[in-house]
Amino acid sequence: MNSSASSGPKPKVMPLPGSDLSKKEQVAGMFDRIAGRYDFLNHFLSMGIDRGWRKKAINTLRPIQPKKILDVATGTGDLAIAALRLNPDKVTGVDISEGMMEIGRKKLADKHLDGIINLQYGDSEALPFSDNAFDAITCAYGVRNFEHLEKGLQQMNRVLRSGGRIAILEFSKPKTFPVKQLYQFYFRYILPALGKTVSKDATAYTYLPESVAAFPEGAQFCTILEQCGYKNVKARPLTFGITTLYTAEKG
């Protein structure tokens, strides 16, 4: 994160503090371990609200009628599937967790969607696509896991066509009473306990609240997007600010 976009540098939050592995390797391993329970936990811990968040993100892209869509940090492909509401010709999902994409590919095959959605390995910091290849790019709850945030955002900008749009969903922290206090209690105590019990992995749902707390949300993230070449940047808090929908266009 650029120092100009914050009051001071924050320590990098890692899934496995003390490990010699890079954040990228730690994140990939973490998601590989929880892949089998991820979809259930995602919907259960958000009480199903996550489906509405994805729908709102996809709807912001409707005015440009994108035909080629890239979903970064696609995981098991839920946002890529939601993008089909826009009737694109092709949706490409990339992720560094093969375990997550294996679950996603099975889901696509069961839904007979593997002909229009393709999931492939892809590092956000070195996207394997040519310049201006996509009309729209989406990312749900993945940017805070980038090892180098600006580098990933710049790569997304590179492969986006001129006038193309991005829609990014990321967790944020409610600011008003009593939602702020309830959220903090849930994120610090309830979510890690439930996540550990169901996924059998203590790391993932301890890392989640820590990574959210360290993420440069709201105006800070909008500034970073502008510095990475985007224009018309907007931040829209959803559900009392539990999550934020960021939209922007290629400058």
> Mapping DSSP to helix (H, G, I), strand (E, B) and coil, where does residue 179 land?
helix
Residue 8, burial from CB neighbour count under 10 angstroms (0-12, 13-18, 19+): exposed
Average pLDDT over residues 243-250: 98
pLDDT digits (tens, 9 = 90+) for 96-123: 999 999 999 999 999 999 999 999 999 9
pTM over 0.85: yes
Which is more confidently placed, 149 or 12?
149
* 66: nearest Cα among 91, 93, 36, 30: 91
Residue 82, burial from CB neighbour count under 10 angstroms (0-12, 13-18, 19+): buried
Q: How confident is the model at residue 2 (pLDDT cuts 50, 70, 90)?
A: very low
pLDDT digits (tens, 9 = 90+) for 210-242: 999 999 999 999 999 999 999 999 999 999 999
Q: How confident is the model at residue 10 (pLDDT cuts 50, 70, 90)?
A: low
pLDDT for 53:
97
State what percent of residues in the chain have pLDDT above 70: 96
